[in-house]
Structure 1
């Protein structure tokens, strides 16, 4: 049975990976806090990562750990760089030492957000935020130090944990109307759909950079309205521009205006297609517990 090391196993994607792979692999589950069947692993410490990998000898490492608080990354660059850049570097070095595959999760934020058409894997990154810049450095380290690697860029992720869908539903409980940005575009992607995509490509030798988002696109305000429609929530959504939102929240980091990723490599090299974002959202909300 293959051994799969999952970092950040308690995050949204980590939980989805565990659900999709289920009992077909032997999991080595790690996160920052220990728990039942979960080992504490600080991926920011190279020697700790190497020692752990040499002891456990995983066949696959799936790195779901990251500093994803965009505003927080602006305030603490050093921490963001350690976790988003040095963490993947350390895992890449360790993966090569034990001949393991490395699946590293990256983000649409490696792009500046000013595109006018869906962004492919061969478009050139140019991040504008601390989060995007540190994630891009992590990508480069993976390519430099790992021998068998997949980099999977995703966007607008939601799953079992803190996420936009849950936040909007919770806010609707004590608001008659909400103001949501309408000029930022992307593809809402369920963690379960992303885990299924990873499960499809990981056993192969089809290495490289992949975009992994649900098909179709929308903006945050329309996405919110669809969430409310499916949940039968009667709350007005006010469509506001990024500039208007920034005026209301001056300390927020800049977000990409255009984050629509084209799953070009997935389409070109496999027969796998991710679900449309509407269908993935319906599936998620059918089991939503709040």
Structure 2
């Protein structure tokens, strides 16, 4: 297939390019090739002649979205509309990468694909706007929600490693009451490679198996690396930031699992990623 990938230089985009390159003709589209806030995006997408467009580009700085909700909507809402219109013009299947933050985070169990959405911050609101646009404009679409991605240059794992390498005297402090689904970008890419070969269109949750808090995530990172850095739990209300993260947003992969697309435990995926980081440091 001929596949265009927006955000090809991003964390998930790089994993997609590496995973799909052997089997497909890829058209990687980074920020230099595509400005999502420009209506000309419609023409640029149409000009690719792609069979499938994976729209992984987004404004993902959740605190930045809180500071400038209009920019968040222009990139994640309007930008997605332009990509969708380009897909419609050439009758391409569209894959839209969404987020766990379209949910309010006030549930008692992991969210399934058809649970009601109710984002509580501008990032989640802008990404939900993108979902709604895709559902309205494109009949042949996959909406794939991911969460707590790691695998690239900037993510929670690397943040913990950076802080642990030069910790404050009192040790590290991590939020213990924000719960989610850590997810390895390369596992998502493998799942997407299988999904786009089907015509089971709709909404999916692609996350690694298992849930944890940010504190538990950090503790597992330190444990796997054999680091004894002191780690202390704090509450969400004690961590000052511009955005308000939903406190409980684990995702349940029901639709994908029904197709045989399942994901290993996040601890196993983390071990693979940490091994990759070690190899990078040694090379």
TM-score of the two chains, using structure 1 as the length reference: 0.93
Give CA deviations for 1:67-100 in whole Å, capped at 9, x if unaligned: 1111100111121001111111111111111011
State yes or no: 1:30 paired with 2:29: yes
For 1:23, what is the secondary structure of its paired residue? coil
Aligned partners of 1:147, 1:50: CA distance in 2, in Å? 17
| RMSD (Å) for aligned C-alpha atoms | 1.1
Counterpart position of 2:2: 3
Counterpart position of 1:37: none
Runs of 5+ unmatched residues, structure 2: none
State yes or no: 1:257 paired with 2:256: no
Shift in Å, 1:50:
2.4
Aligned partners of 1:55, 1:109: CA distance in 2, in Å? 32
Counterpart position of 1:152: 144
Match of 1:45 among 38, 47, 57: 38
Counterpart position of 2:209: 215
Shift in Å, 1:23:
2.2
Counterpart position of 2:91: 99
State yes or no: 1:182 paired with 2:181: no
Counterpart position of 1:287: 276
Map 1:188-267 onto structure 2 (within 5 A): 188-245=182-239, 249=240, 251-267=241-257
Shift in Å, 1:169:
0.2
Find runs of 4+ consecutive structure 1 residues off by over 3 angstroms: none
Aligned partners of 2:35, 2:242: CA distance in 1, in Å? 28
Partners of 2:8 and 2:28 within 8 A in 1 = yes
Runs of 5+ unmatched residues, structure 1: 34-39
Match of 1:76 among 65, 68, 76: 68
TM-score of the two chains, using structure 2 as the length reference: 0.95
Matched positions, count:
277
State yes or no: 1:274 paired with 2:266: no
Aligned partners of 1:22, 1:140: CA distance in 2, in Å? 30
Map 1:160-171 onto structure 2 (within 5 A): 160-171=152-163
Match of 1:57 among 26, 41, 49: 49
